[in-house]
Chains A and B, each alone.
Chain A
Amino acid sequence: MIDMPAGGLGHFLGKLPFASRGDLGLDRRKVTQCALSRICGVCGESLSRPVAFLGSTEEAGRNAFHFPPTHLACAELAVATWGSDHGVLGQGHPPASWALVTTSGFEYVRPEAEWVDRRAVFEPNSVIEERALTP
């Protein structure tokens, strides 16, 4: 696949996604690193175009995702691998249906003091496609 990371997908099977750990399954430092270094939240390698965002349908509705950008192939594999697990992909409880949004660009929005959920969010700014994925 055109967006397949250089090292392939096999090397992280059975492990946690690169940006996972910490509260609600996300490692804040790695989330920031993914956002600024433009690397995939699943495999940790450089992103390619289009960029994919994975989240609940509510997140897609708000256009504000917690899990960092990923390769399209990594997003599909992540749902298949961890889509039913608790707390791995930035969700407290796994959603019944995942939303997958592809975009060319995104805004990285740092948390503000008054936010109840003090996690950064990603706002896709040039959406190409949105579809549902089931684990």
Chain B
Amino acid sequence: MAIADVKEYAHLTEEEVAELGRELDQIRVEIEESRGDADAAYINRLITVQRTLAAAGRVTLFASRWKPAFFAGAGLLAVAKILENMEIGHNVMHGQWDWMNDPEIHSSNWEWDTAQPAEQWKHSHNYIHHQFTNVLGYDNDIGYGILRMAREQKWHPANLGQPVYNALLATLFQWGVALHDLDIEAIRKREKDPKVMKKQLRQIWRKVRRQVGKDYVFFPALTGPAFVQTAAANALANLTRNLWSYMIIFCGHFPDGALHFTEEEIEDETRSEWYLRQVLGAANFTGGPLLHIMSGNLGYQIEHHLFPDLPSNRYGQISERVRPLCEKYGIPYTTGPLHRQYGQALRTILKLSLPNRFTTSDRRDGPHSPEIPRGRRADDERPVRRTETGGWTSRATA
């Protein structure tokens, strides 16, 4: 089944798909040609604001034995960590700001304020997730290897515990992300290259030591008698960041409108078809400018997946052109308020804790496929490439 057979695209001719691709290319070119000083000023200003907030938080925590200072310091630090992870780190590591030729703000050397080493994030997120977006058996972001998020994923009695696993994942999100690229399923099946695993574990250990040392030893020690309160405030800031980033990320691909795909072939997917898969596999949420900045502009998840290396401050502007294009070509553009998008993702988590026979699908329906084995498939496990283009099939999930 080719992408042209997917219900949402079936009305499009090959020429129309190619034309849509050209129109999206044109948007890309215009943004590339117009990016400049104003964009650079945006990211530099944001980094200054973020560092000021972090410094203010750290300084406030010198008085953390006084309750208002405890909560003020933790709050300032939480906002700083959210900004650093979501709008700065994630986007810098995509290479969105490499064009500035800034020695510090560059995808090759940015190390973010969370437990996962940047190098592993650039593999698990930039490559695996963005290349195999919502492809079952490839994209480990579908449930993070812990949750069953698609009806095609085989049910196991352990899935009954999903509500609990979900709460744990949200609470401990940075640690879950830290282990994400290890591919626990591959380790469990003894399919992981021991050399790679050892290298990754060493990187994770170094990063964890640094993060724990910073938040729970160095900065608390600086505050002397307020050591315990400062460490607790830092833990609260990390927890707040965990819960926020978990919610934003789960709104990107699990609301009802976002489809999952099964791979038949990938090598010959054209740029236009790749664009189509990104639009159908992602979901936006609506909100004001502050919400978009605090969420790393991932409220424009569709635009981010179409153009992951264009500056995030332009996604709002891009969305004003992408949405009419989707309407013009009759392609679904999934969006809604944050609470509704997260509510749908949460409902999927709860429903799929049960076997399929106890629940019905809430998402746009597609043909049912055989169950997909658990875990991420390695590069050499992919099917032999075919010469014809278009091999993506959409699948209903929850």
Cβ-defined contact, A38 with B271, below 8 A:
no
Q: Is A81 engaged at the interface, CB distance under 8 Å to the other chain?
A: no
Q: Is B224 engaged at the interface, CB distance under 8 Å to the other chain?
A: no
Q: Which of B21, B106, B119, B268 contacts A49 (CB 8 A)?
A: B106
Also in contact, A110 and B95, with CB within 8 A (given A32-B127, A36-B126, A118-B268): no
Q: Is B274 engaged at the interface, CB distance under 8 Å to the other chain?
A: yes
Also in contact, A38 and B130, with CB within 8 A (given A105-B101, A113-B272): no
Give the residue among B98, B107, B272, B274 with the most A Cβ atoms within 10 A: B98
Q: Is B103 engaged at the interface, CB distance under 8 Å to the other chain?
A: yes
A105-B389 Cα distance, complex, nearest whole Å: 30
Cβ-defined contact, A38 with B267, below 8 A:
no
Q: Is A57 engaged at the interface, CB distance under 8 Å to the other chain?
A: no
Q: Is B27 engaged at the interface, CB distance under 8 Å to the other chain?
A: no
Q: Is A126 engaged at the interface, CB distance under 8 Å to the other chain?
A: yes
- Say how far A1's CB is from chain B's closest CB, in angstroms: 14
Mark each residue of chain A from 41 to 74: 1 if its CB lies under 8 Å from any CB of chain B, else 0: 0000011110100000000000000000000000
Q: Is B286 engaged at the interface, CB distance under 8 Å to the other chain?
A: no
Across chains A and B, the number of contacting residue pairs, with CB separation under 8 Å, is 82
Cβ-defined contact, B309 with A104, below 8 A:
no
Give the B interface residue count (CB, 8 A): 34
Task: Determine the chain A residues whose CB is within 8 A of the CB of B131 once the complex forms.
Answer: 32-33, 36
- Say how far A101's CB is from chain B's closest CB, in angstroms: 14
Cβ-defined contact, A108 with B126, below 8 A:
no
Cβ-defined contact, B272 with A38, below 8 A:
no
Q: Is B356 engaged at the interface, CB distance under 8 Å to the other chain?
A: no
Q: Is A82 engaged at the interface, CB distance under 8 Å to the other chain?
A: no
- Say how far A74's CB is from chain B's closest CB, in angstroms: 13
Q: Which of B21, B119, B127, B270 contacts A36 (CB 8 A)?
A: B127
Q: Which of A106, A109, A110, A113 contacts B98 (CB 8 A)?
A: A106
Task: Determine the chain B residues whose CB is within 8 A of the CB of A46 once the complex forms.
Answer: 108, 119, 122
Task: Determine the chain A residues whose CB is within 8 A of the CB of B271 once the complex forms.
Answer: 109-112
- How many A residues touch the partner, as a band? 20 to 34
Cβ-defined contact, B268 with A104, below 8 A:
no
Q: Which of A49, A111, A128 contacts B109 (CB 8 A)?
A: A49
Task: Determine the chain B residues whose CB is within 8 A of the CB of A105 once the complex forms.
Answer: 95, 97-101
Cβ-defined contact, B126 with A38, below 8 A:
yes
Which parts of A1-52 form the interface with B (CB within 8 Å)?
A: 28-29, 32-33, 36-39, 46-49, 51
Q: Is A85 engaged at the interface, CB distance under 8 Å to the other chain?
A: no
Cβ-defined contact, B127 with A37, below 8 A:
yes
A92-B101 Cα distance, complex, nearest whole Å: 32
Q: Is B18 engaged at the interface, CB distance under 8 Å to the other chain?
A: yes
Cβ-defined contact, B107 with A28, below 8 A:
no
Task: Determine the chain A residues whose CB is within 8 A of the CB of B389 once the complex forms.
Answer: 113
Cβ-defined contact, A51 with B100, below 8 A:
no
Which parts of B84-100 form the interface with A (CB within 8 Å)?
A: 93, 95, 97-100
Cβ-defined contact, B18 with A104, below 8 A:
no
Q: Is B320 engaged at the interface, CB distance under 8 Å to the other chain?
A: no
Cβ-defined contact, B32 with A48, below 8 A:
no
Also in contact, A113 and B32, with CB within 8 A (given A49-B103, A105-B101): no
Q: Is B45 engaged at the interface, CB distance under 8 Å to the other chain?
A: no
A126-B119 Cα distance, complex, nearest whole Å: 23
Enumerate chain B interface residues (CB-CB to A < 8 A). Answer: 14, 18, 21, 32, 93, 95, 97-103, 106-109, 119, 122-123, 126-127, 130-131, 267-268, 270-272, 274, 309, 379, 382, 389
A to B CB contacts below 8 Å, 17 in the list? A32-B131, A36-B126, A38-B107, A38-B122, A39-B123, A46-B119, A48-B108, A105-B97, A105-B98, A105-B99, A106-B98, A107-B32, A108-B309, A112-B271, A112-B272, A126-B101, A128-B101
Knowing that A49-B103, A106-B98, A126-B99 touch, tell me 20 more A-B residue pairs with CB under 8 angstroms: A29-B267, A33-B127, A36-B122, A37-B122, A37-B127, A38-B95, A38-B108, A46-B108, A46-B119, A46-B122, A47-B107, A104-B99, A104-B100, A104-B101, A105-B99, A109-B271, A112-B272, A113-B14, A113-B270, A118-B268
Q: 3 tightest CB-CB pairs across the interface, nearest first?
A: A105-B98, A104-B101, A105-B99
